[in-house]
């Protein structure tokens, strides 16, 4: 690799030494792609991500196949990858049935998906916020009893397509409820990508005041308005050390109206490595993986870094 294909390393003061990247491409990414990907391609994708140095890779969702047909093969996929050495493989479960399926296959990292807003809870979960939290409570308890670590996603933390701006105290209430039921970690989702750095700082400050420990917080930014890395930087300044990202920006097809715009893992790694922050990720291997996956999806990766690094002439 030529020297110009790595960022110059210039550390900034008061940022974390290391960031844990929580890779969501195989689940959040593929669930938002139009077509279903063959199970063995998904398994190979996850193996390649692990080989590129990612240590937390959300593998799939044990949701009813009717709701997310792209992930209907969870039962076949998970056993193919669950023994990858040195790799945590969380799986999403929407309810008790999903948890039972996941635990039966030996999953020991579980995620549940809550909403900060009533409109999205209704649209996505067909329940009120409190009704959905009531569904999760026994699920989280049983997962904890089984020895699993549990992550609580909170979607629509910054803006909601029906409700507009989301009051931070509303987010804090859901975060606190998830922690009280036993979640070990939270992921603050900017599901429609509208957050800006001051907004991120404001929410994280409020969560401090509400007693939510920063080391239990992950951030999940979407690049819909080009703000994902700026927002990530604001979160790093606050001390957040877990950042969600999707290899190649999967799930964020810029040409589709359904664009969700997941932050691309490669774009994140370029910034973090330039800041001298360790990730354990080999950017060349990761980029090669996203180029390989883009060929399977028959469209280019929307990641700027993947495009830059895969053009040999630059
Ligand atoms: Mg996402």
- Is residue 183 part of the annotated active site? The answer reads no
Active-site hit among 157, 175, 183, 253: 253
Q: What is the mean pLDDT of residues 124-136?
A: 94
Closest Cα partner for 154 from 201, 122, 194, 186? 186
- pLDDT of 190 over the 80 cut: yes
Q: How far apart are CA 208 and CA 202, in angstroms?
A: 10
Q: What is the mean pLDDT of residues 121-148?
A: 96
C-alpha 250 to ligand 1 mean position (Å) = 9
Q: With bands split at pLDDT 50, 70 and 90, how would you rate the model's confidence at 312?
A: low
Q: What is the pLDDT of residues 4-42, one digit of tens each?
A: 689 999 999 999 999 999 999 999 999 988 778 999 999
- Which pTM was predicted? 0.96
C-alpha 191 to ligand 1 mean position (Å) = 6
**What's the pLDDT at 32?**
83
Q: How far apart are CA 197 and CA 230, in angstroms?
A: 6
Q: What is the mean pLDDT of residues 169-195?
A: 97
C-alpha 82 to ligand 1 mean position (Å) = 22
- How far is CA 116 from each of CA 32, 132, 162, 264, rounded to the nearest angstrom? 21, 11, 12, 24
C-alpha 295 to ligand 1 mean position (Å) = 21
- pLDDT of 257 over the 60 cut: no
**What's the pLDDT at 52?**
98
CB contact set of 66 (below 8 Å; sequence gap of 6+): none
Q: What is the mean pLDDT of residues 287-314?
A: 89
Q: How far is CA 136 from the centre of its chain?
A: 19
List CB-based neighbours of ion ligand 1 within 5 Å: 28, 262
- pLDDT of 314 over the 50 cut: no
- pLDDT of 1 over the 80 cut: no
Phi and psi of 223, rounded to 5°?
A: -95, 25
Note down the domain range covering 9: 3-312
- How far is CA 182 from each of CA 137, 143, 175, 185, 226, rounded to the nearest angstrom? 8, 9, 11, 9, 34
CATH number for the domain harbouring residue 239: 3.20.20.70
Q: What is the mean pLDDT of residues 248-258?
A: 66
Tell the residue number behind the tokens 């910034």, with chain if given: 271
C-alpha 314 to ligand 1 mean position (Å) = 30
Domain count, the chain: 1
Average per-residue pLDDT for the chain: 94
**What's the pLDDT at 267?**
98
């Amino acid at each position: 690799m030529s020297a110009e294909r790595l960022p110059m390393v210039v550390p900034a003061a008061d940022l974390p030494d290391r960031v844990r990247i929580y890779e969501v491409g195989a689940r959040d990414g593929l669930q938002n792609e139009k077509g279903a990907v063959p199970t063995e391609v998904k398994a190979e994708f996850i193996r390649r991500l692990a080989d590129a140095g990612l240590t937390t890779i959300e593998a799939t969702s044990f949701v009813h196949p009717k709701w997310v047909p792209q992930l209907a093969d969870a039962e076949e996929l998970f056993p193919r990858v669950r023994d990858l050495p040195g790799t945590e493989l969380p799986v999403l479960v929407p309810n008790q049935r999903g948890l039972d399926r996941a635990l039966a296959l030996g999953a020991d990292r579980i995620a549940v998906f809550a909403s900060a807003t009533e409109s999205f809870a209704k649209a996505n979960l067909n329940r009120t916020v409190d009704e959905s939290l009531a569904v999760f409570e026994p699920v989280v308890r049983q997962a904890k009893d089984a020895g699993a670590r549990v992550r609580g996603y909170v979607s629509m933390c910054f803006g909601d397509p029906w409700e507009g701006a989301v009051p931070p105290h509303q987010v804090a209430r859901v975060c606190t409820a998830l922690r009280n039921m036993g979640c070990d970690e939270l992921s603050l989702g900017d599901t429609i990508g509208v957050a800006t750095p001051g907004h991120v700082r404001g929410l994280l400050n409020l969560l401090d005041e509400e007693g939510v420990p920063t080391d239990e917080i992950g951030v999940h930014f979407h690049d819909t308005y080009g703000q994902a890395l700026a927002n990530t930087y604001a979160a790093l300044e606050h001390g957040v050390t877990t950042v969600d990202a999707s290899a190649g920006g999967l799930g964020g097809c810029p040409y589709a109206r359904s664009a969700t715009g997941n932050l691309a893992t490669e774009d994140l790694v370029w910034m973090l490595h330039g800041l001298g922050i360790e990730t354990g990720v080999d950017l060349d291997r990761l980029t090669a993986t996203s180029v390989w996956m883009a060929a399977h999806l028959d469209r280019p990766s929307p990641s700027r870094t993947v495009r830059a690094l895969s053009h040999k002439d630059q």
